Amino acid sequence: MLTTRPRGTEDIIAPEADVWQAVEELARTLSHRYGYEEIRTPLFEHTELYARSVGETSDIVSKEMYTFTDRGGRSLTLRPEGTAGVVRAFLENRLYARPLPVKLYYLGPMFRFARPQAGRLRQFHQFGVELLGAGEAAADAEVISLAMEFYRHLGLEELTLRLNSVGCPACRPAYREVLLAYLEPRQHSLCADCLARYARNPLRVFDCKEEGCRQVLAEAPLVTAYLCPECSAHLAAVRDALRLLAIPYEDDPYLVRGLDYYTKTAFEVIVPGIGAQSAIGGGGRYDGLVEAFGGPHTPAVGFATGLERVLLALGVRGKTLAPPAGRKVFVAAADAAGAAAGVELLARLRRAGFTADRDYLGRSLKAQMKHADRWGATITVILGEAELGRGTVTVRHMQSGEQEAVPFAQVVEALKEHLAR
Ligand code: HAM
């Protein structure tokens, strides 16, 4: 136990952590470019927040939440997703009084208790964006475009964008009745889960992966055929906007998404070859959520992608991000005088922006050189009493093995020149 992490969690350690940093940096850069600002919400919220937004009948709320009672007797839940917390913060901090739309992004861990498998963890990480206060289809297209740009920059191609509309409170009740009437005589073919939830939220059946349920649904009436004029027009406008942006998509009338807050647009991005958990990202519109929490009418749309799945997809394609440019300098000492001068040089190098290090184990010069090599130094600077007496140090280029004498006072400038090349 003491040396085993909880199931479904991961330690992220270099060099993998370097890839994480690169992916996160891209997420931040792109978000800023699109006019999104960062929001950091708590890792836990009141349990009710998720029950009332993600939905009681969703898998997330009904069986995947990390819910606990704190010492004050309150029911809290580790966030299973980011949208609910952002909407809560939008209201609590009166962000609706700011110029609309309010555009926010977040990066961080989420928690869901599901059976771990490739691409499915209990603690995973999302990059997400939320655009609050705009109802136009162009806003949906912007969110989708940011998502696709993110994947494109990472070199992930062969992605499929699946698009659907799940309707709104004006058209969904009528569709719900039609779907219920269709499912009723077929109840015996549904799995136990679907049977339990179909009466409360029949749309959830579309989310089921069981073969029996899928067969039942093959002939089911589809929500797109029952959209009200406003939802139909919106879906058409999103399609037009995507065409304008040259973003390919596939209509998927079976796509309902696993969260209850969606209205109108729902979309998912699928990547082949990473196993059963092939949805690398997803999102949609949630025009009623802010109001349902007691706020002003605020149409909104957002998206989130799972970073573990992004990394999995990168690995599958053999595309790893380039490691940070090599500017690693090791400062080696041949004797005590060299070690003393090395302390000063090390500080100068770090101040100048180099990744620089030295020996702390009293190693011999030979052992220091071996260590510098294993550490991945591009250059090792060797300092010794005799050379320092002449005012110079030895600069060794680790790859070629070439060495040169450089004046001690000019080492930083000389290395800047070398490593710029
Ligand atoms: P979601 O589809 O539940 O949507 O999750 C988004 C992404 O998070 C998934 O596509 C997947 O990449 C990743 N993900 C989800 N669960 C796991 C897991 N157990 N392990 C690893 N990765 C996972 C949402 O969370 C919505 N809040 C998205 C959204 C934002 N909609 C509007 N705004």
* Alpha helices by DSSP H, 67-113: 83-92
Q: How many domains does the chain have?
A: 2
Q: Which atom of ligand 1 is nearest to the CA of 112?
A: 19
Q: Does residue 114's CB lie within 6 angstroms of at least one atom of ligand 1?
A: yes
Q: CB–CB of 330/345 below 8 Å?
A: no
Whether residue 399 sits in one domain with residue 262: no
Backbone angles phi, psi at 330, to 5 degrees: -105, 135
Whether residue 269 sits in one domain with residue 141: yes
Whether residue 80 sits in one domain with residue 116: yes
DSSP string, 112-138: -----BTTB-SEEEEEEEEEES--SHH
- Residue ID of nearest Cα to ligand 1 atom 14: 306
Neighbours of 404 (CB within 10 A): 12
Whether residue 382 sits in one domain with residue 234: no
Cα separation, 253 vs 225, in Å, equals: 9
Q: Does residue 279's CB lie within 6 angstroms of at least one atom of ligand 1?
A: yes
Whether residue 301 sits in one domain with residue 362: no
Q: What is the pTM of this model?
A: 0.92
Q: What is the pLDDT along the chain (421 residues), one digit of tens a residue?
A: 899 999 999 999 988 898 999 999 999 999 999 999 999 999 999 999 999 999 998 999 999 999 999 999 999 999 999 999 999 999 999 999 999 999 999 999 999 999 999 999 999 999 999 999 999 999 999 999 999 999 999 999 899 999 999 999 999 999 999 999 999 999 999 999 888 878 888 998 998 888 999 999 999 999 999 999 999 999 999 999 999 999 999 999 999 999 999 999 999 999 988 888 899 999 999 999 999 999 999 999 999 999 999 999 998 666 666 555 568 999 999 999 999 999 999 999 999 999 999 999 999 999 999 999 999 999 999 999 999 999 999 999 999 999 999 999 999 999 999 877 6
Q: Among residues 3, 320, 34, 336, which one has the least CA distance to residue 156?
A: 320
Is residue 187, in this structure, part of any structural domain at all?
no
DSSP string, 363-374: --HHHHHHHHHH
- Residue ID of nearest Cα to ligand 1 atom 2: 282
Q: Does residue 338's CB lie within 6 angstroms of at least one atom of ligand 1?
A: no
Q: For the chain, count helices (H), then strands (E).
A: 15, 16
**Domain coverage including residue 294:** 16-171+227-316
Supply the CATH number for residue 264's domain. 3.30.930.10
Whether residue 154 sits in one domain with residue 35: yes
Q: Does residue 363's CB lie within 6 angstroms of at least one atom of ligand 1?
A: no
Whether residue 280 sits in one domain with residue 136: yes
Pick the last residue of a domain from 291, 316, 341. Answer: 316
Q: Does residue 284's CB lie within 6 angstroms of at least one atom of ligand 1?
A: yes
Whether residue 387 sits in one domain with residue 239: no
- Residue ID of nearest Cα to ligand 1 atom 22: 306
Is residue 322, in this structure, part of any structural domain at all?
no
Whether residue 404 sits in one domain with residue 378: yes
Is residue 210, in this structure, part of any structural domain at all?
no
* Centroid of ligand 1 to alpha carbon of 81 (angstroms): 7
Q: Among residues 78, 130, 89, which one has the least CA distance to residue 107?
A: 130
Pick the last residue of a domain from 316, 350, 368. Answer: 316
